[in-house]
Amino acid sequence: MKKIFIFLTILALNAYSAIDENITNPAVAGDVSFFINSPFGFEQADERTKTQSGKELIKLINNAQKSVDFAIYGYEDQKEILNALIAAKKRGIIVRGVVSEKLYGQNQYPKTTELIQALKDIKTDFKANEKLALSHSDTTAKDEIMGFELDKNTCVLATKKQKAKKFIGYTMHNKFFIIDKAVVWTGSANITKKSVGGLDVNFGFVVKNSQVAAAYVDEFDRMYEKGLFHDFKPKADIKRFKLDSSDVAVAFCPSPSCLELSLEAINEAKKYIYVGALYIDHEEIAAALINAKQKGVDVRIILDTKRATANTAINELMRASKVSVKIEDFKYKMHAKSIFTENAVLSGSMNFSHASIEHNDENTMLVKNEQIARTAGEFFELLWDSMGENYLTHTPKPKGKSLASQKDIAKVQIVPNHQAIKAQNGKFYTPLDSEYEKIKADKNVEYFCSPYDAKKAGFSSAK
């Protein structure tokens, strides 16, 4: 059986190789271009900028007339892009940037210091994280109940295990460039050898519109000029633009608008919702996907195996709710943060998580255009078909060849709602709480399928 699976996987990869060049060409609709960073055709991460989106970024930098402003998570081994920025600065272009720096001088990519030293006019979120550390403590290991409503009387529950974690700050996780205050390059790709170099799955946009660019300039200035990051940044509303062939909406985190825009993409879908994501750990996004499935929408999700194994509770809850979830086990990373429907594409730096939406500096863009949506959907279906049906029920070990032991996967329970979350006198109780069994059914007790729903209804945890 294992040999057959490997053989079928090789056939799928060969099929990709034959069509990869066509499917990954950018879809252009007026002022908006949509880029696909496909993993197929790449044997390893590359220090050369080999993706279409990366090459387009270099072209934009080389053609800049006045300014290049950027906000990126970090930098690693992309000398072609760094050299383009250095050359732009030498010819008199104003080049400014913002990167992430957590406490203790940490960045996911240590070579970010090369970019800072070469370009000089770079600022970070370090001071904001220093201030946050005064009021934030380390998190302790604990178990939490998660759940969703299957129907009016039934809930599906699982236990989420949260590891102890030292607070080192939140993340300036944006990924965008603004050229001459007129063009925006953005998406899920980092300026690294695995993202714009080639290998990981990413999606992005180039928008040539000064009004859209102005929204990104405003966000850049809040960080670069005013030093506003994370919880210190005022919440921004969704910015909407009507272009010649597309409706474009942009949200900047941390803000409820980031969740709002994600839910808009999901809730407006009538035929299908395809999600390519590093991971999902936000209950409301998962609930919206489950609700869409219950309404007859074709919902399919591909998640990255490394992050998925750390978030098994929500994955297994979605699977138990009949949502089709595959967790990849190839050499690449599913690094996207995207939602595709029959008429819209959402992509950006924002992961579908509480941290991204509520604390990190992020951006996400929703483009409503059927041509772009069709291109995105076709690529997702090819990616989906390259993975066997067994990936619908199993969770692979990170980048391994064998499937993870089922003892590591969160156990799911389907229960009547009166055996899920109980709420009384302003407090809610989960099956993990010591007082849970003491709350007996009566007219003053309310029932919910998740702590999240109980909180939304105005109840606070009894812990």
pLDDT digits (tens, 9 = 90+) for 429-443: 999 999 999 998 888
DSSP class of residue 425 equals: T
- At a CB cut-off of 8 Å and minimum separation 6, what does 358 contact? 253, 254
Q: Is 5 helix (H, G, I), strand (E, B) or coil?
A: helix
**Are the beta carbons of 241 and 247 closer than 8 angstroms?**
yes
Q: What whole-number distance in Å separates Cα of residue 187 and Cα of residue 177? A: 10
Q: What is the structure's pLDDT at 204?
A: 98
**How many whole angstroms from its chain centre is CA 169?**
19
Q: What whole-number distance in Å separates Cα of residue 233 and Cα of residue 150? A: 37
Q: What is the structure's pLDDT at 310?
A: 73
pTM: 0.92
- At a CB cut-off of 8 Å and minimum separation 6, what does 156 contact? 147, 148, 150, 317, 320, 321, 412, 413, 414, 415, 449
Preceding peptide of 398 cis, ω within 30°: no
Cβ neighbourhood burial of 385 (10 Å; 0-12, 13-18, 19+): exposed
The tokens describing 169, both together, are 């700050």
Q: What whole-number distance in Å separates Cα of residue 198 and Cα of residue 210? A: 29
**Are the beta carbons of 285 and 317 closer than 8 angstroms?**
no
* pLDDT tens-digit map of 9-66: 444 444 444 444 455 689 999 999 999 998 887 778 889 999 999 999 999 999 999 9
Residue whose tokens read 């992961």: 351
**Are the beta carbons of 205 and 165 closer than 8 angstroms?**
no
Pick out the chain residues at pLDDT < 50. Answer: 1-21, 400-404
**Are the beta carbons of 97 and 115 closer than 8 angstroms?**
yes
Q: What is the structure's pLDDT at 399?
A: 60
**Are the beta carbons of 188 and 72 closer than 8 angstroms?**
no
Q: What whole-number distance in Å separates Cα of residue 103 and Cα of residue 125? A: 9
List, in sequence order, every residue forming a beta bridge with 36; answer none if it has no partner: 203
Q: What is the structure's pLDDT at 23?
A: 57
**Are the beta carbons of 347 and 206 closer than 8 angstroms?**
no
Q: What is the structure's pLDDT at 24?
A: 66
Q: What whole-number distance in Å separates Cα of residue 25 and Cα of residue 2? A: 34
Report the residue count for the chain. Answer: 463
Q: What is the structure's pLDDT at 406?
A: 53
H/E run at residue 12: helix 2-23
